Amino acid sequence: MIGEKLLTDDVRRLAQGWLREWIPTTEEAGLSLGLPEWDQRLALWRVALVCDVAPSYPIGEVQVDAGGEICRAPAPTMVSERLRQLRQDLHPRRSGRRASIAFPPTPNKAILGDCRTVLAEFPTNSAQLVFTSPPYYNAKPDCAEYVDYPSYLEFLGEAFAACHDVLAEGRFLVVNVSPVLVRRTSRSTASKRLPIPFDLHHILDRIGFEFIDDIIWRKPEGAGWHLGRGRRFAADRQPLQYKPVTVTEYVLVYRKKTDRLIDWNLRNHPDPEAVGRSLILGAYDKTNVWDITPSNHRTHPAVFPDELVSRVVRYYSFEGDSVLDPFAGTGTVGRVAAAMGRRFLVIEKRADYFETMRRELGQPGFDFTVDFDDLQYFRSAEHDAEPI
């Protein structure tokens, strides 16, 4: 039989022969072959090499050409190195907290404090979605909290590791983040853009989050010009001086690493009726570009537009799930999530923003109640809010 006329069994036999010859420890290593697939474009058969601990992550591929010859296969040393990495990735952090499928029925909570300390008191499964926007490094000179960029990244690592510990298996972490402009200090120095999303990716990957999607939040025409970027180029049009006005932000989607498919989360949800009620019917975003107008707030410089929160909550959670925002600001995530039949856990370390949150989440017209907790954490939060 030639090319695509080869039967999948023939291809599998050939690939198995290669495995036996080159990786004699196949069985102990838990290696096996996926289903052979004919690749029309390359005109060859492709057979994924998988490991029993994570059958959805191919760790290599054996290719069989149209004449029935093995034409490409991974180096055996590469296979053993990938196996080692994979086992390590699957157990990236041992928090010592016991995971269970049932979600504890926590009430809506708004807590004043540092999310790193507050979250240490919550068990795994306290959240079924994390949606947040971390502080923007030292974006405003009046609240420059971090000694330098590496210590800022270290802080993000600690906060997201705490989120990882409380998030349910296979559930989503969605982070709104963007490069931040550090203004020049004089005419003889240059401004810098810090690539926060790209640095954050490595941190999240190491903590144990799998990258899923990059959604682009596009703001309407005219947004971004007030920052002054691109003005010089608009005037003198010199090459190398080109700087586009930024009108987008990233909404990065990650999943808590697991070898289970998303189907597993759907089938094992403790309330199948809630799963049914959460179907995404009607219009939805078909692409990764979301056009949303930004929001302003009297007391907070960087609030989420309700529209952004409602899209994320709709696509990445079920009714009754608990949505965590560890950097809650005015509590937009809590307010919108509750209006959509979800529960929430929101944490903010500044006492002034927490007071705004208390006003906004505690309004009499809402049909949800909130447990505000500002006593236990008040001292440290008050101290953090003080100017140096």
Ligand X SMILES: C[S@@+](CC[C@H](N)C(=O)[O-])C[C@H]1O[C@@H](n2cnc3c(N)ncnc32)[C@H](O)[C@@H]1O
Which chain residues interact with ligand X by CB under 6 A?
114-116, 133, 135, 300, 302-304, 326-330, 332, 347-350, 353
CB-CB contact of 66 with 77 (8 Å): no
- Give ∠ CA 228-233-236 in degrees, rounded to 5: 130
Q: CB 291: neighbour CB atoms within 10 A?
A: 11
- Give ∠ CA 236-242-248 in degrees, rounded to 5: 130
Q: Which two tokens stand for residue 36?
A: 């052979």
Minimum CB distance to ligand X, residue 181 (Å): 15
Minimum CB distance to ligand X, residue 361 (Å): 11
Minimum CB distance to ligand X, residue 378 (Å): 13
Minimum CB distance to ligand X, residue 163 (Å): 11
Minimum CB distance to ligand X, residue 114 (Å): 4
Smaller CB distance to ligand X: residue 347 or 370? 347
Q: In sequence order, which residues have a C-beta less than 8 Å from that of residue 108 and are 6 or more positions away?
A: 334, 338, 343, 344, 345, 361, 368, 369, 370, 371
Q: Which two tokens stand for residue 340?
A: 């959509």
Element (H, E) at 322: strand 322-325
Element (H, E) at 68: none
Minimum CB distance to ligand X, residue 26 (Å): 48
Q: Which two tokens stand for residue 150?
A: 């590496």
Smaller CB distance to ligand X: residue 108 or 330? 330
CB-CB contact of 15 with 70 (8 Å): yes
Q: In sequence order, which residues have a C-beta less than 8 Å from that of residue 161 and are 6 or more positions away?
A: 93, 207
Minimum CB distance to ligand X, residue 194 (Å): 15
Beta strands 44-51 and 248-256, pairing class: unpaired
Smaller CB distance to ligand X: residue 12 or 311? 311
Identity of residue 329: G
Smaller CB distance to ligand X: residue 78 or 120? 120
